[in-house]
């Protein structure tokens, strides 16, 4: 167990709370202390709920003291939400001038569920504007492994806060990879659940058919714990599924002997940065040594999914933003405005064709997942790039992730190594619909056999 509370896992913190070794106030103070020290440099948070979080922590402490038990395994633990999730009484800006003064009068469904589970709102984390563009107002979220590099978008504030000990749990949204990309860049775990698994009610939308909400944490078990509270049918989200919700922490320890993992022949292992390639090859050998069987799988459409996916996202985003763009286009950041405006320019025939490619791709990946339990890929072909690259015009980081927004399959990233320059590398696991449990089991087995998730960025040295 890490001696620093701000770096402990949720599982360990829960144990410490159960044993009365620490109180919720101790945990919140430990994390807030790091937020005070490092948020200026990392730009993790847009809004920090310091006093309110401490008040909530005191209330949790009293409740636990009075009842002699915690409401559940998340009770008394703090969480940070990406600033595209509505939070009652706490401003929700989406990093946009359009919403600078917006204070919602309700919580997003996942915020409410985690709050009902007893979690304490620590603050709202940084994001690219509307999860797709510029970062003009609150700074660019930086990578704690190298402050000159980008944390990844769009849930970069959640990811860099976790990696730097400025949060112990967080949520993010993922329309083309926005949970998995920053999680990979920052060396943490992030899950995009199955489409429909977690309600999007109260999430500021970007693309109705591609948006997902999911958990982010430093360990696989912590992500499973968070999904337990977040998942479930919500009648207020018409795309919410009526799928049964298991306890995702059950079976985590079952191991992966006999598990069949698909290694795509096309796209995902082509053109990789040599250090990423080496990390993935090492991870595949590790998975084999744990008893998994690797099988090549054919996904010939994989190289062609990202472009049509971009048409779907921007056409849908334009639909949502059209009225505001007519009235206040200048309030949008430059890149955000341009990207969303592109959505006005596709024809319905092009949108329909992109949908057809989505269906054809989905059939391919569904067929592959009938042959294997999960597919293993790099999350990105390269490690985090410099902040200057992000500002000048970044590469499309959804190279390996948008595929599973298109198909709706669950996909998780877990740290699987570091480059020679000390930057994290992520491995993506994508599984069958509503089978997040298998992804957790595979990733947990891998995590137990490796130590990548235990490394800490040297922020103190960087600060000196």
Partner 1 sequence: MSAVGQGLADQLRAELARQGIAVDDDDLAAVVKIVEASRAGLERARSAVGGGPPVPHGFVPPAPPATVRAPRAGR
Q: Which is nearer to partner 1, 61 or 353 (CB)?
A: 353
CB of 376 to partner 1, least distance (A): 23
Check residue 22 for interaction with partner 1 (CB under 8 A). Answer: no
From CA 429, how far away is CA 211, in angstroms rounded? 19
Q: Which is nearer to partner 1, 47 or 362 (CB)?
A: 362
CB of 399 to partner 1, least distance (A): 12
Considering only residues 304, 394, 455, 462, which one is a binding residue for partner 1 as defined by CB under 8 A?
A: 304
Residues in contact with partner 1, shown as a per-residue x/- string from 247 to 286 under the rule CB under 8 A: ----------------------------------------
Q: Which stretch binds partner 1 (CB under 8 A): 49-57, 180-188, 338-346, 444-452?
A: 338-346
From CA 261, how far away is CA 404, in angstroms rounded? 16
Check residue 320 for interaction with partner 1 (CB under 8 A). Answer: no
Check residue 328 for interaction with partner 1 (CB under 8 A). Answer: no
CB of 365 to partner 1, least distance (A): 14
Residues in contact with partner 1, shown as a per-residue x/- string from 356 to 395 under the rule CB under 8 A: xx-xx-----------------------------------
From CA 439, how far away is CA 435, in angstroms rounded? 7
Angle between helices 24-42 and 10-18 (to 10 degrees): 150
Q: Per the residue annotation, which of 44, 155, 178, 240 is the catalytic one?
A: 178
CA 141 to chain centre: 14
Check residue 353 for interaction with partner 1 (CB under 8 A). Answer: yes
Considering only residues 243, 341, 366, 448, which one is a binding residue for partner 1 as defined by CB under 8 A?
A: 341
Tell me if residue 154 is catalytic.
yes
- Strands ordered across the beta sheet of 374-378: 45-48, 120-125, 78-82, 170-174, 212-217, 189-192, 411-418, 424-431, 374-378, 260-264, 293-297
CB of 113 to partner 1, least distance (A): 33
CB of 342 to partner 1, least distance (A): 4
Considering only residues 89, 281, 338, 454, which one is a binding residue for partner 1 as defined by CB under 8 A?
A: 338
Check residue 342 for interaction with partner 1 (CB under 8 A). Answer: yes
CB of 360 to partner 1, least distance (A): 5
Two tokens, residue 141: 């979220």
Q: Which is nearer to partner 1, 329 or 421 (CB)?
A: 329
Q: What are the catalytic residues?
A: 82, 154, 178
Q: Would you tell me which residues interact with partner 1 (CB under 8 A)?
A: 300-301, 303-308, 310-311, 314, 322, 325-326, 329, 334, 337-339, 341-342, 344-346, 350, 353-357, 359-360
């Amino acid at each position: 167990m890490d001696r620093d509370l701000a770096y402990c896992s949720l599982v360990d913190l829960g144990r410490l709370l159960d044993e009365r070794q620490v109180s919720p106030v101790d945990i919140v103070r430990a994390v807030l202390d790091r937020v005070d020290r490092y948020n200026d440099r990392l730009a993790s948070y847009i809004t920090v709920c310091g006093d309110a979080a401490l008040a909530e922590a005191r209330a949790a402490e009293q409740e636990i003291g009075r009842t002699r038990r915690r409401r559940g395994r998340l009770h008394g633990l703090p969480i940070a939400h990406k600033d595209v999730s509505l939070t009652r009484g706490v401003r929700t800006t989406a990093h946009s001038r359009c919403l600078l003064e917006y204070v919602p009068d309700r919580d997003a469904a996942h915020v409410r569920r985690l709050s009902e589970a007893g979690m304490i709102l620590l603050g709202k984390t940084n994001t690219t504007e509307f999860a797709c563009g510029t970062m003009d107002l609150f700074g660019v979220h930086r990578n704690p492994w190298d402050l000159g590099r980008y944390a990844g978008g769009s849930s970069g504030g959640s990811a860099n806060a976790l990696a730097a000990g400025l949060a112990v749990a967080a949520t993010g949204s993922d329309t083309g990879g926005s949970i998995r990309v920053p999680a990979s860049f920052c060396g943490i775990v992030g899950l995009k659940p199955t489409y429909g698994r977690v309600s999007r009610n109260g999430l500021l939308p970007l693309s109705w058919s591609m948006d997902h909400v999911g958990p982010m944490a430093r360990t696989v078990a912590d992500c499973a714990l968070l999904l337990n509270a977040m998942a479930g049918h919500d009648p207020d989200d018409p795309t919410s599924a009526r799928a049964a919700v298991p306890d995702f922490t059950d079976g985590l320890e079952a191991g992966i002997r006999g598990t069949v993992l698909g290694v795509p022949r096309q796209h995902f292992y082509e053109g990789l940065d040599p250090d990423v390639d080496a990390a993935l090859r090492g991870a595949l050998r590790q998975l084999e040594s744990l008893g998994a069987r690797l099988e090549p799988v054919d996904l010939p459409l994989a190289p062609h999914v990202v472009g049509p996916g971009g048409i779907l996202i921007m056409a849908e985003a334009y639909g949502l933003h059209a009225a505001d763009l007519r009235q206040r286009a200048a309030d949008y950041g430059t890149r955000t405005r341009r990207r969303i405006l592109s959505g006005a320019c596709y024809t319905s025939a092009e949108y329909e064709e992109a949908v057809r490619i989505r269906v054809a791709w989905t059939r391919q990946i569904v067929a592959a997942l009938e042959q294997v339990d999960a597919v293993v890929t790099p999350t990105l072909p390269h490690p985090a790039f410099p902040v200057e690259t992000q500002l000048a015009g970044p590469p499309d980081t959804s190279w390996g992730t948008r595929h599973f927004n298109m198909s709706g399959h669950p996909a998780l990233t877990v740290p699987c190594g570091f480059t020679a320059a000390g930057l994290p590398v992520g491995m993506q696991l994508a599984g069958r619909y509503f089978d997040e449990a298998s992804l957790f089991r595979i990733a947990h087995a891998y995590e137990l056999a490796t130590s990548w998730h235990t490394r800490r960025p040297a922020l103190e040295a960087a600060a000196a």
